[in-house]
Amino acid sequence: MTDISTRSAGGGAAGAALSLKKLAPAVFLAPAVLLLAVYLIYPLIDSFRLSLLDWNGLGANARFVGLDNWKKLATDALFWEAAWNNILLAVFSVLIQMPIALILAVVLDNAGKGSRILKILYFLPLLMSSVALGVLFKYFYDVNFGPLNALLDYVGLGSLAQDWLGDTRFALGAVIAVVCWQFIPFYMVLFMAGLASFPAEISEAAKLDGASETTIFWKMKLPHLKGTLRTAIVLSVIGALRYFDLIYVMTGGGPEGASELMATYMYRNVFSSFQLGYGSTVASAMFIIVILIASVLLRFSKRYETEV
Amino acid sequence: MATSPVTRAAGRVAVPVLGLFWLAVTTVPFLFMVMTTFKTQQESYASSVWALPEGLNFVNYADVLSGPFLAYLKNSVMVVVISVLLIVLISAMAAYAFARMRFRFNEALFGLIVAGMIVPIHITLVPIYLMTRDMGLYDSPFALVGPYVATSLPISVFILTEFMRQIPKELEEAARLDGCGPFAIFFKIFLPLSGPGLSTVAIYNAIMLWNEFIFAYVLTSSTSTRTLPLAIWDYQGQYSSNIPAILAVVTLTSLPLVVAYAFGQEKIVKGMMAGSVKG
Amino acid sequence: MTSITLSGVNKSFGANFPVISGVDLKIDDGEFCVFLGPSGCGKSTLLRMVAGLETAYSGEIRIGDRVVDKVEPADREVAMVFQNYALYPHMSVYDNMAFGLRQAKTPKDEIDRRVREAARILQIEPLLDRMPKALSGGQRQRVAIGRAIVRQPKVFLFDEPLSNLDAALRVHMRSEIATLHRNFPAASMIYVTHDQTEAMALADKIVLLHAGKDMLKHGSIAQVGKPLDLYHRPRNLFVAGFLGSPTMNFIEASFAGQQADGARVALKSGEEIVVPVDGSTLAAGAAVTLGVRPEHLAPVAASGAALGAQTLTRRVSAVEHFGEYSFVYLDGGTPAPLIAKVAGDGGFKAGDSASFAAPADCCHLFDADGIALSHL
C-alpha cells in the first residue's frame, strides 16, 4: 500500500490540485472563446462601427458620417428589393421543399430494399459546393448552348425557351429551382428519420382498429412529424435569409438586381463599388433582420411546442 | 376504413415511379456534366448538347491538370486538414467543459455560443478582411484557418456537448478515483469515448470547408494561394467559352467528395445531417 | 488506522433540499459496514462523500487519522465499485485494472504483478485481453472489483454493486464479496444497498438510514448496529418495518398497565398481551403499537376457553403456500391484514377461524411517536 500513500502529500498538494481544478474550465474554454471573440464577436461590433464611416477601404481617408449610411439604407430601394428577394427565397424554399421532401420521404419509407441506394444517390447534390453547382447550372440554363432550352426545343416546346438567367422575370425563379433541387434531399433525410422514429406498435394498434395506411399517415405519422417539420422550416428560412454563394456565381444578383439578395448587395457595395462603410451598413442591417426573424421563428416554434 | 384495392395498386405504382423520377432529376445534371467533359470544344458547339461524345476524350482533364489545378488542390487539403483538426480539438475541449464542469455562466455562455449558429457570416466578412490585411495574412491560405475554425465552432460545440452529456458520469468518477485530473479525464477518457461524435463533427466541417467559397474568395487573390472552389471560379473566367473544360474542373473538384462518399455513405449522410440541429 | 469517522455531517442539494442530516458514525478497522435504506435516503450520497466525489457538505470525514474533506478522491486510499461498473469501454480488462496504477506511475512490472494477482483471485485471467462489451454482467462485476483490488486501498466502497445482476448471480456474487472481505481483513468496506437480504448477509454493521420527514426530524441515521441487533431490537417503527419480509405486523393497542413481567396492552379486539418492556413512562390508556413478526406468530391448536394468554384469534382471509412455509392472512383489527408465517402447509383454509400465540419475548412495543420501549 505504498504507492497511494506516498502520493497523498497532504494539504499543499491537495490545495494546488483544487486551484488547478478551479482554473480548468477557463483553460478548456479559452481557445474557443478566444477564436469566437476575434473572428465573430469583434467583427460583429466592428461592422456596426464601419457602418458609420464613409470609406473606400484603402488608406486613411475614412470619414465619420454618423447615421448617414443608415438613413441612406432606409430609403435604398435596391436594398429593400434585395431583402424582399430573400423573403421570396425563404417562402418558396419552404413551399417547394417541404412537400416534395415529405413525399420523397414517404416514398423511400415504403420503397423497401431499394430505398438505401436511392437515398444515397439523392443525397449527392448536398456534397457539391455551391460554386460547382452554380457553374453547372449557369451552363444548364444558358440561352444558346444550355441543355434546358435544347430539351424544350427537342420536345417541341421551343417557344418556351428563355434566357433563364438573363431575363428579370425568370432569374430569381431559376435560381430558387436550383436551391430547392440541392436541399430537398436534406429535408427528405430529416423527414425519413422522423418517420423511422414513429413507433411500429402504434401503427399496428391502429391497423387492428381498422385504420388504413392513408389514415395512419394523415392522422398519426404527420402529427408525429410536426416537430421535425418545424425544425426544417426554421432551418430553411434562416438558410434562405443568409444565402449568397449560388446566386453570386449564377447571376451576381442580376439582371438589374432581379435576383439580388442582401448578401450579394453587401458584397457588391464593398468589393465592387468600394463603399466599405455602406456595405457594412447593409451587412449590419442583414444581421439585424436575420436575428429578428430567427428569434420570432424560434420563439413561435417553442411556444407552440409547450402547447402541444 | 379498409384500403380499397385501387388505392393500394396506385400506391404500388406510385412508389417506384416517384422514386425513379426524382432519381432522374438528381442525376441527369451530373450525367450531363460528366458526358460533356469528354467532348472537345468544337464538338460542344457543333453537335447537339444532348448528343453523346464521340469517344472517351480526356483532353479537357489533361488540360486542366496541366494547369495550376494541383496547387488549388494542395491548398484545399492543407486548409481543410488544419482547420478540421483544430475544430475537433477546440470544440471537444469546450464541449467537455460545458457538458461536465460546474462553473458560473456555464449555461449562459453555452447559449451564446450556440446562438452563433444563426449569425450570418457575411456580417463578419468586411471586418475579417480588414483584420487579415492588417495582420499581413492577406492572400495566404492560412488566412482562412481562423475564420474557418471560428465559424465552425458553434455547431461543433453544440454537437459534441450533446454527445458528451451522454457519457456516463460514473466513468469520470472512476477516473477521478484512479487519479485523473480534468486534463487526464479529457484526453484519456472523454476524447477516446467521443469517437462517433468527433467523426460527425469532422465530416460535417470537412465537407462544408472543402466547399467554402466566400471567405476564400475575399481573403485570397492569387492562383497559388486559392482553394478548389476558387479554381472553378478562376477557370470560369479563363475558359469562359470552353464549356467542356469548365465542367471538367467542376467534375475534378467534386471528385474527392464523391470518392469519399462511395466509401462511407452512411457516415457522411449522418455527418451532413448534423447540420439539422435545431437552433 | 483504516477506521472511518463521520462527525456532524450534513448535505443538501441546493438551498432547500437536505439529503443528509446529522450523521455521526464510526466504522472500525476492517469492518464491513452496510448503508441500508429506502431510495432517496442519501445512502449513495454518503458513500460518495467518503469517496470524495461529493463535496460541499458540512461536518468532517476522517479516514484513519486524516481529515479528508479537502483531499482529492485519488489520494484518499479508497477504491470504489460502481453500480453500473463504470468500466472504461475503450480499454481492455487488463488496461481497466492497470489504469489507476499507471496514473500513479507505479513501475510496470509491479502493475503487471498486481493485475495478474487480482485476476487470479477473481478467476478472470482468461478475460484480460477482452473489451468490457464482450463480457457478461457477472464478469464485468468481477473486473470492477479487480480494478478496486489492484489499488490495495485501505477502504473499499461498493455502490449497489449487485443491483444490475439477475437474482441467481446476485446470490453468487454476494458470497464472493464476503470472501473478498475475508481475503483483505485489514481493509474496511462500506457497501450501499437497498436490499435488506444483502445487508443482513454481508454486514458486520448496518447503518439504516431514513428519508424525508423522518430524516428531517431525527437525522439521517435510523439505527446503527449488528444485523441481528437491528432485527431483534429495532429502535423504532421504521427500523422494525424495514427489516424482515414480510414486514412486521403492527397492531394498534392501548397501554393497560405495567406489571412485573412487562407492559400489559389491550388490543381493540379485546385480547390482552404482555410485552416484556418498561412502560413506566406511559399514561394509562396511552396509544401504543404492538409489533410481532410473522414468523413469531405460532399456531395454537386449542380453542375457546382453553386458549392461554398472549393469543390472537382471527378469521383466515387467504393462504399462500410456498411448500417449505405458508403465509396465512388474517382479517380484523388492522387496516392491513396480519400475516403469520407457518411451517409447511399449516392446514389453514380461508374462512376458518384460527388462533396464534405471540410469545412475549418476540413482541415489540412502540409509543405514540413510534419509538420502541426498551426491553426489560
pLDDT digits 0-9 by tens, A8-49: 333 344 445 556 667 889 999 999 999 999 999 999 999 999
Of the listed ranges B48-57, B183-192, C230-239, the one predicted with least confidence: B48-57
Q: For residue B53, is pLDDT > 70?
A: yes
Closest CA to C104 of C152, C58, C144: C152
Please provide residue C209's backbone torsions phi and psi, each rounded to the nearest 5 degrees.
-110, 150
Domain membership of residue A61 (yes or no) is no
Q: Which residue has the higher pLDDT, A58 or C367?
A: C367
The C-alpha of C20 sits at a distance from chain A's nearest C-alpha, in angstroms, of 24
Nearest CA in chain A to B97: A25
Per the prediction, chain B carries an average pLDDT of: 88
Question: Residues for chain A: how many in total?
Answer: 308
Domain membership of residue B136 (yes or no) is yes
B31-46 pLDDT, tens digit per residue, is 989 988 898 888 877 7
Q: Which chains does chain B touch, 3 or more C-beta pairs < 8 A?
A: A, C
Q: Look up residue A298 and give its three cell numbers.
A: 424560434
Q: For residue B277, is pLDDT > 80?
A: no
Q: Look up residue C87 and give its three cell numbers.
A: 468500466
DSSP string of B53-88? PSS---HHHHHHHHTTHHHHHHHHHHHHHHHHHHHH
d(CA C52, CA A10): 15
d(CA B182, CA B260): 36
Cβ–Cβ below 8 Å for C70 and A11: yes
CB nearest A1 (choices: C72, C75, C154): C154
Domain membership of residue B140 (yes or no) is yes
CA A112 to chain centre: 31
Q: How many domains does chain A have?
A: 2
Task: Tell me the residues of chain B between 244 and 263 that have a Cβ less than 8 Å away from chain A.
Answer: 246-247, 250, 253-254, 257-258, 261
What confidence category does residue C133 fall into, taking pLDDT thresholds of 50, 70 and 90?
very high
At A92 the pLDDT is 94
A86-95 pLDDT, tens digit per residue, is 999 999 999 9
The answer, for B173 touching chain C at a CB cutoff of 8 Å, is: yes
Q: For residue C15, is pLDDT > 80?
A: no
Q: Look up residue B184 and give its three cell numbers.
A: 487526464
Per the prediction, chain A carries an average pLDDT of: 85
Domain membership of residue A179 (yes or no) is yes
What confidence category does residue A119 fall into, taking pLDDT thresholds of 50, 70 and 90?
confident
Cβ–Cβ below 8 Å for B213 and A181: no
For residue A125, give Cα distances in angstroms to A44, A95, A118, B207, B260.
32, 20, 13, 12, 14
Question: Which range of residues forms the domain containing residue A269?
Answer: 68-307
Angle between helices A115-122 and A77-110 in degrees, nearest 10: 160
Closest CA to C345 of C360, C328, C332, C362: C328
The C-alpha of B123 sits at a distance from chain A's nearest C-alpha, in angstroms, of 5
Domain membership of residue A55 (yes or no) is no
**Which residues share a beta bridge with C372?**
C366
CB nearest B177 (choices: C51, C84, C90): C51
Q: Look up residue C239 and give its three cell numbers.
A: 427500523
CB nearest C77 (choices: A4, A13, A17): A4
Find cell 471567405 and name the residue.
Answer: B215
pLDDT, mean of residues A58-68? 83
The answer, for B29 touching chain C at a CB cutoff of 8 Å, is: no
Cβ–Cβ below 8 Å for B127 and A234: no
pLDDT, mean of residues C208-229? 89
Task: Determine the 3-state secondary structure of C282 from DSSP.
Answer: coil
Same domain, yes or no: A118 and A164: yes
Closest CA to C181 of C200, C155, C160, C161: C155
Closest CA to C239 of C360, C363, C371: C371
CB A65 within 8 A of CB A53: yes
The C-alpha of A26 sits at a distance from chain C's nearest C-alpha, in angstroms, of 20
Same domain, yes or no: A76 and A113: yes
Give me Rg for the CA atoms of chain C: 25
At A306 the pLDDT is 45
Same domain, yes or no: A297 and A195: yes
Same domain, yes or no: A34 and A155: no
At A116 the pLDDT is 84
What confidence category does residue A5 fall into, taking pLDDT thresholds of 50, 70 and 90?
very low
At A304 the pLDDT is 53
Same domain, yes or no: A20 and A85: no
The answer, for B211 touching chain A at a CB cutoff of 8 Å, is: yes
Domain membership of residue B122 (yes or no) is yes
pLDDT, mean of residues C177-206? 92
B66-121 pLDDT, tens digit per residue, is 888 899 999 999 999 999 999 999 999 999 999 998 888 888 999 999 888 888 88
Q: For residue B191, is pLDDT > 90?
A: yes
CB nearest B174 (choices: C48, C82, C104): C82
Same domain, yes or no: A43 and A150: no
Same domain, yes or no: A45 and A106: no
Same domain, yes or no: A83 and A224: yes
Question: Which range of residues forms the domain containing residue B228?
Answer: 71-276
Q: For residue A303, is pLDDT > 60?
A: no
Q: Which residue has the higher pLDDT, B239 or A101?
A: A101
Cβ–Cβ below 8 Å for C70 and A1: no
Closest CA to C249 of C209, C293, C193: C293
Which residues does B204 contact at the CB level (< 8 Å), separation at least 6?
Answer: B155, B156, B159, B271, B272, B274, B275
Report field, pTM of the whole predicted structure over 0.90: no
At B76 the pLDDT is 94
d(CA A204, CA A184): 30
The answer, for B236 touching chain A at a CB cutoff of 8 Å, is: yes
d(CA A72, CA A280): 13
Strand ranges in A150-274 using DSSP code E only, listed in sequence order: none
Cβ–Cβ below 8 Å for A46 and B250: no
Q: Look up residue B261 and give its three cell numbers.
A: 462518399
Task: Tell me the residues of chain A between 47 and 86 that have a Cβ less than 8 Å away from chain B.
Answer: 47, 50, 57
CB nearest A35 (choices: B7, B14, B150): B150
Same domain, yes or no: A183 and A157: yes
Domain membership of residue A3 (yes or no) is no
CB A107 within 8 A of CB B188: no
d(CA A196, CA B21): 23
The C-alpha of C161 sits at a distance from chain B's nearest C-alpha, in angstroms, of 13
d(CA B67, CA B109): 48
Domain membership of residue A123 (yes or no) is yes
At A1 the pLDDT is 36
Cβ–Cβ below 8 Å for C70 and A8: no
Query: How many CA atoms lie within 13 Å of B249's alpha carbon, on the beta-carbon side?
Result: 33
CB nearest A7 (choices: C66, C75, C154): C75
CB A63 within 8 A of CB A53: yes
The answer, for A160 touching chain B at a CB cutoff of 8 Å, is: no
d(CA B124, CA A285): 13
Domain membership of residue A2 (yes or no) is no
Closest CA to B50 of C312, C336, A149: A149
> Which CATH number do you get for residue A220?
1.10.3720.10
Please provide residue C253's backbone torsions phi and psi, each rounded to the nearest 5 degrees.
-155, 175
At C307 the pLDDT is 59
Same domain, yes or no: A27 and A109: no
Q: How many domains does chain B have?
A: 1
Q: Which chains does chain A touch, 3 or more C-beta pairs < 8 A?
A: B, C
Query: Which residues in chain B have their CB less than 8 angstroms from residue C73's CB?
Result: 173, 176-177
Query: Which residues in chain C have their CB less than 8 angstroms from residue B171's CB?
Result: 86, 88-89
d(CA A181, CA A92): 12
At B117 the pLDDT is 87
Q: For residue C284, is pLDDT > 60?
A: yes
Angle between helices B265-273 and A115-122 in degrees, nearest 10: 60
pLDDT, mean of residues C123-136? 93
d(CA C301, CA B269): 79
CB nearest A14 (choices: C75, C105, C153): C75
Same domain, yes or no: A29 and A90: no
pLDDT, mean of residues B135-147? 92
What confidence category does residue C346 fall into, taking pLDDT thresholds of 50, 70 and 90?
confident
CB C169 within 8 A of CB C198: no
Domains of chain C by range and CATH?
4-242 (3.40.50.300), 249-366 (2.40.50.140)
At C130 the pLDDT is 94
CB C350 within 8 A of CB C319: yes
At B8 the pLDDT is 66
CA C183 to chain centre: 23
Task: Determine the 3-state secondary structure of A183 from DSSP.
Answer: helix
B10-24 pLDDT, tens digit per residue, is 767 777 888 889 999
In three-state form (DSSP H/G/I as H, E/B as E, the rest C), the secondary structure along C186-219 is CCEEEEEECCHHHHHHHCCEEEEECCHHHHHHHC
Cβ–Cβ below 8 Å for A4 and C72: no
pLDDT, mean of residues C9-21? 83
Q: Which chains does chain C touch, 3 or more C-beta pairs < 8 A?
A: A, B
C244-268 pLDDT, tens digit per residue, is 888 999 998 999 888 888 898 988 8
Cβ–Cβ below 8 Å for C82 and B192: no
CB C3 within 8 A of CB C26: yes
The answer, for B131 touching chain A at a CB cutoff of 8 Å, is: yes
Domain membership of residue A173 (yes or no) is yes
At A20 the pLDDT is 65
What confidence category does residue B5 fall into, taking pLDDT thresholds of 50, 70 and 90?
low
What confidence category does residue C302 fall into, taking pLDDT thresholds of 50, 70 and 90?
low
Same domain, yes or no: A95 and A174: yes
B217-238 pLDDT, tens digit per residue, is 999 988 889 999 999 988 888 7
Closest CA to C201 of C170, C224, C237: C170
Query: Hey, how many other C-beta atoms are within 10 angstroms of the C-beta on C60?
Result: 13
CB nearest A35 (choices: B149, B233, B273): B149
pLDDT, mean of residues B61-70? 87
Q: Which residue has the higher pLDDT, C50 or A300?
A: C50
d(CA A87, CA C322): 76
* CA angle, residues C186, C187, C190, in degrees to nearest 5: 145
Query: Hey, how many other C-beta atoms are within 10 angstroms of the C-beta on C344?
Result: 11
Query: Hey, how many other C-beta atoms are within 10 angstroms of the C-beta on B239?
Result: 20
> Which CATH number do you get for residue B107?
1.10.3720.10
At A19 the pLDDT is 64
Question: Residues for chain B: how many in total?
Answer: 279
Nearest CA in chain B to A208: B2
At A15 the pLDDT is 46
Which residues does A239 contact at the CB level (< 8 Å), separation at least 6?
Answer: A93, A183
Query: Which residues in chain B have their CB less than 8 angstroms from residue C72's CB?
Result: 176
Domain membership of residue A132 (yes or no) is yes
Find cell 399449516 and name the residue.
Answer: C346
Burial C295-323 (b: 16+ CB within 10 A, else e): ebbbebeeeeeeeeebbbbbebeebeeee
Closest CA to A301 of A242, A238, A241: A238
Cβ–Cβ below 8 Å for B173 and C80: yes
pLDDT, mean of residues B112-139? 90
Angle between helices B69-100 and B195-210 in degrees, nearest 10: 140
Q: Which residue has the higher pLDDT, C270 or B169?
A: B169
Asked if the interface predicted TM-score (ipTM) of this complex is over 0.85, the answer is: yes
Burial A71-98 (b: 16+ CB within 10 A, else e): eebeebebbebbbebbebbbebbbebbb
CA C293 to chain centre: 17
* A300, containing H or E segment: helix A276-307
The C-alpha of B188 sits at a distance from chain A's nearest C-alpha, in angstroms, of 15
Cβ–Cβ below 8 Å for C100 and B171: no
Domain membership of residue B132 (yes or no) is yes
Domain membership of residue B24 (yes or no) is no
Task: Tell me the residues of chain A between 84 and 113 that have a Cβ less than 8 Å away from chain B.
Answer: 103-104, 107-108, 110-111
pLDDT, mean of residues C4-8? 91
Query: Which residues in chain C have their CB less than 8 angstroms from residue B175's CB?
Result: 88, 99
Strand ranges in chain C using DSSP code E only, listed in sequence order: 4-12, 18-27, 32-36, 58-63, 66-67, 78-81, 155-159, 188-193, 205-209, 221-225, 249-259, 262-267, 272-275, 287-292, 298-300, 311-321, 325-330, 338-343, 353-357, 363-366
Cβ–Cβ below 8 Å for A1 and C152: yes
Domain membership of residue B4 (yes or no) is no
Find cell 392461554 and name the residue.
Answer: C308
